[in-house]
A and B are shown apart, each in its own frame.
Chain A
Amino acid sequence: MNEFYPLVYTFHFYLFGLVALAAAIVFVTRKSPVAAALWLVVVMTSLAALYVMLDAEFVAVIQVLVYAGAIMVVFLFIVMLLNLGTLSELGEIRGKWGRIAAALVGLALVAELAALSRAAYSLRVTVPARSGPEAIAETGGVIGSIAAPMFRDYLLAFELTSVLLLVAIIGSVVLARKRSEHDAG
């Protein structure tokens, strides 16, 4: 690793990373959905901080707004709506063997991902890291650097995403609509 990072940067990077990791583990072991959701919010917020440190300020903002804000609120809202806040069935988590198997699969997966990451890391440095205000200004600012590819190279995908959102809106409305007695079932 030839790049140089200031200590304060490194410290914060590890800090938020460890927070995210710890929060994720806590999240996945919570029995209460409400607790789990809140711990997930912690993970997401930590990730937002990491995004900032990775020069993705815009993504970080969106992360907080959309994910931590909107999506997780919806989750909590549903938990409330269905009144599941206190629900904690005994069989809600798989048994010992299920957990062992899951651990094994998880280990295998993480090992593979690590290997792949190493491979990806070795392919790195085709484009020099562009950090700092100068680089950002060069590419049209924090927003501009994202906007340019989004509306040029990925315009079609962008438009399709909007269609997807529309479909999702309609779909969720239709699905969640309370059926009348006649067409129930």
Chain B
Amino acid sequence: MQEAHPLAETAARFIWWLPTLPLIGFLINGALALAATAKPGPADPSADHGHDQSTGPSHAASDSHAHGDDAHPPRHRFARAVSVVGPGVMVLAFGLALAIFAVMRGAEMHAPYINTLFSWMPVGDLQLDAALQLDQLSMVMVLVITGIGMLIHLFSIGYMQDDPGYARFFAYLNLFVFSMLLLVLGANMVVTFVGWEGVGLCSYLLIGFWFTEKANADAGKKAFVVNRIGDFGFMVAMFMLFANLGTLNYVDIAARAGQFAPGGALVTTICLFMLLGCFGKSAQIPLYTWLPDAMAGPTPVSALIHAATMVTAGVYLVARTSMLFSIAPVASLTVALVGAVTALFAATIGLKQWDIKKVLAYSTVSQLGYMFVGVGVGAYTAGVFHLVTHAFFKALLFLGSGSVIFAMHRAYHAIHNHSDDAQDMRNMGGMKRYMPVTWVVMWVATLAIAGIPPFAGFFSKDEILGQVFARAHGSTLASATYLGVSGATVLYAIWILALAAALLTAIYMTRMMLYTFHGPNRTGDGAQSHLAEAPWIMTGPLVVLAILSAFGGWLNLPETVTEMIPLGPTAVLEHWLEPVVGGATERIAAGSAHTAASTEQVLLGVAIAIAVAGIALAWTRLRPSSLVPKPLAEPSTGFQKVLENKWYVDEIYDVSVVKPVYATSRGVLWKFFDVGVIDTLFANGSAALARFLGWVGSQVQSGQLGTYAWLLVIGAVLVIRAFAQAGG
């Protein structure tokens, strides 16, 4: 029996309430959602008809059908209860998370706190428990999930208020939070996997929330399937770990990771399979295509799932299994390289998107790439830091865009315009006049993501860039060989890619702000007068997030900065995460000295310069006044067209993978092999043969006694012959 964990008798023992609270919310809201669909009475078909109207396919083009067709569709029957339960459980969970956090800060904690609930799969030497694990890393994630989740739940009260699926929406959202908490709190890979797939499920359900539109259902399905490609990798990684280490508990994996030869093929293979999972969930090349499509879901979903939490699960997992990645340099370099390429690639697409949410989606893909660069080069703290700040400002950006879309839609709705796209920036412009709060907070987020000091994004992004540079100068990564190229070269390439991505980020974000909020309004004369700021329940969370985006950087101020300007304590997050990822970071850094202070200052300067340059470039070169509304826009040509069509990646996948698999399954396997070969040739063929033999036999049965006699006699002769032979 181990000695009691310092957290054993504290509030941390209620940790299982964290996921349980949203689960309860899900059950209640789910029950309410189903109860609401129960028909008022069998003799009242009109009530049913009215219900249908509100989700009719006629207005399922986009977010817009959050708000009914008719003048004012009745609110959800249980709207009040749902509004209390849905966000209420999140408030409670956040409160509990804060309480546990407070306990943890006070406790001296070196080993994770494991809370075993029950034995899940006890099979021989595989003894899987349903167990939760609390350590500093999961605590950070829990705070982000419950905190931002709570804000987004509150925002949704306003955003989804007129939707007939109000209760269903909150049920799914609660279920998502439950899964996400399970993901980050799992004490073994399988519990994590439950959450991992659970968030995928919720993502699927929420993307396809307005399911009567085929495009939405398709997008949900695509998200789930692409995620499953990643899950395949995750599963194989688990199998390999179990086959070789005999355990799937993180604690035991960490203890036995020493059995692997550092840099060996086995651990590298395991890490690469795990990476496949991370790339799927976190939308990295080659599995990123689902995320832009996922914007079909309601905007709060995009903010919570497809920006702040779920898509960062891959980053979390790499940090969680840093004990493996840190001894597999090739895998780590793959993480970083794919992250850097994705960051740049997605940023180029972001440059030419017109749908405001699509811009943000590609931006998310790009920023996730950044995080992977961070965890890839062994700067796990930096990666997680960027994860946190990104959660702040990207959630803010999405909610802000949601606020804009909400306004646009209301305006269109007021004049019964159902043909124009409420998400297309060409239909916006000059929104700052109508939505000042949204405008301000969106700029805060834009500056944060672009990397302008002192906003949050600047510190986290700079941290990653600095670490890449430092690793190139001395680490196990730099001394490794990656596909015949020296690790240091690869790291420099990553650094340059990341810098280029930073430049593009500043450009496309400024472009988005310019087209949306500045210049003349292009919404149309009638709708223009109906544009208005969102209600306080929506702007409130925006403001909170704006504050976090502005000051989130204080979580982990770099030494270089605090030396120059005493802003506050240095590297809080790094110290906090030290017990979890410190060892792994050390192993990769291999004890090499920090970069010289002067170099760091130069790097800092470069980063700022690039961000400013990007904004300036966009500000001076782009002319929002020259834009025309979408219907009048000329089709783009050349390279712009390639970007606008996202490098045709979807089309390439479709032609190279989807169609061939489908055609082979249908044409070869089913129609040819199953129906043709097995059935026709073997099954029916043998039946036909039997029938033929039967026909031959029946010809003998002529009914002619003489024939029978002949056969009888010949048979008798033969039988006697056989007997004679046998007898003598």
A interface residue numbers (CB < 8 A to B): 94, 105, 108-109, 112-113, 115-116, 119
Contacts and interface: CB of A to CB of B under 8 A. Distances in A.
Nearest to A113: B720
B727 interface: yes
Nearest to B724: A115
Contact of A112 (B706, B710, B714, B717): B717
Dominant secondary structure at the A interface? helix
B721 A112 contact: yes
Contacts of B728: 119
Given A119-B727, A119-B728, A112 B720 contact: yes
Contacts of B727: 119
B713 interface: yes
Nearest to A109: B717
B720 A105 contact: no
A94 B714 CA distance: 17
Contacts of A112: 717, 720-721, 724
Contacts of B714: 105
A24 B716 CA distance: 22
Contacts of B706: 94
Nearest to A105: B713
Interface string B691-724: 0000000000000001000100110110011001
A112 B717 CA distance: 8
A105 B715 CA distance: 11
Nearest to B716: A109
Given A108-B721, A109-B716, A116-B724, 12 more contacts: A94-B706, A105-B710, A105-B713, A108-B717, A109-B713, A109-B717, A109-B720, A112-B720, A112-B724, A113-B720, A115-B724, A119-B727
Contacts of B716: 109
A119 B720 CA distance: 13
Instruction: Please give me the 6 A-B residue pairs with the lowest Cβ-Cβ distance, nearest first.
Output: A112-B720, A108-B717, A109-B717, A115-B724, A105-B713, A112-B724
20 contacts: A94-B706, A105-B710, A105-B713, A105-B714, A105-B717, A108-B717, A108-B721, A109-B713, A109-B716, A109-B717, A109-B720, A112-B717, A112-B720, A112-B721, A112-B724, A113-B720, A116-B720, A116-B724, A119-B727, A119-B728
Nearest to B720: A112
Contacts of A108: 717, 721
Q: Which of A112, A113, A119 has the most CB of B within 10 A?
A: A112
A120 B714 CA distance: 23
B303 to A, nearest CB: 90
A106 to B, nearest CB: 9
A33 to B, nearest CB: 17
Contacts of B724: 112, 115-116, 119
Interface residues of B, number: 11
A152 to B, nearest CB: 31
A119 to B, nearest CB: 6
Contacts of A115: 724
Contacts of B721: 108, 112
B567 to A, nearest CB: 116
Nearest to A116: B724
A154 to B, nearest CB: 25
A116 B714 CA distance: 17
B417 to A, nearest CB: 86
A108 B374 CA distance: 98
Contacts of A105: 710, 713-714, 717
A34 B706 CA distance: 22
Contacts of A109: 713, 716-717, 720
B712 to A, nearest CB: 11
A119 B728 CA distance: 9
B711 to A, nearest CB: 11
Contacts of B717: 105, 108-109, 112
Contacts of A116: 720, 724
B293 to A, nearest CB: 78
B20 to A, nearest CB: 84
A121 to B, nearest CB: 13
Contacts of A119: 724, 727-728
B445 to A, nearest CB: 100
B704 to A, nearest CB: 12
Contacts of A113: 720
Interface in B657-714: 706, 710, 713-714
Nearest to B728: A119
A61 B724 CA distance: 35
A2 to B, nearest CB: 23
A120 to B, nearest CB: 11
A27 B714 CA distance: 23
A112 B728 CA distance: 12
A115 B710 CA distance: 22
A93 to B, nearest CB: 11
B352 to A, nearest CB: 92
A105 B721 CA distance: 12
Nearest to B723: A116
Contacts of B713: 105, 109
A108 B710 CA distance: 14
A7 to B, nearest CB: 34
Nearest to A115: B724
A119 B725 CA distance: 12
B287 to A, nearest CB: 80
A115 B721 CA distance: 10
A109 B721 CA distance: 9
A94 B716 CA distance: 21
A136 B710 CA distance: 43
A29 B249 CA distance: 100
A158 B727 CA distance: 32
Interface string B502-515: 00000000000000
A94 B706 CA distance: 10
B605 to A, nearest CB: 115
A112 B722 CA distance: 10
A92 B149 CA distance: 105
A94 B709 CA distance: 13
A152 B277 CA distance: 91
A82 B716 CA distance: 33
A50 to B, nearest CB: 24
B65 to A, nearest CB: 78
Nearest to B706: A94
Contacts of B710: 105
A116 B717 CA distance: 12
Nearest to A112: B720
A102 to B, nearest CB: 9
A109 B728 CA distance: 17
A108 B719 CA distance: 12
B42 to A, nearest CB: 62
Nearest to A118: B728
A64 B142 CA distance: 115
A112 to B, nearest CB: 5
B728 to A, nearest CB: 6
A116 B713 CA distance: 17
A164 B713 CA distance: 26
A109 B717 CA distance: 6
Interface string B562-599: 00000000000000000000000000000000000000
A66 B127 CA distance: 92
A119 B723 CA distance: 12
B680 to A, nearest CB: 42
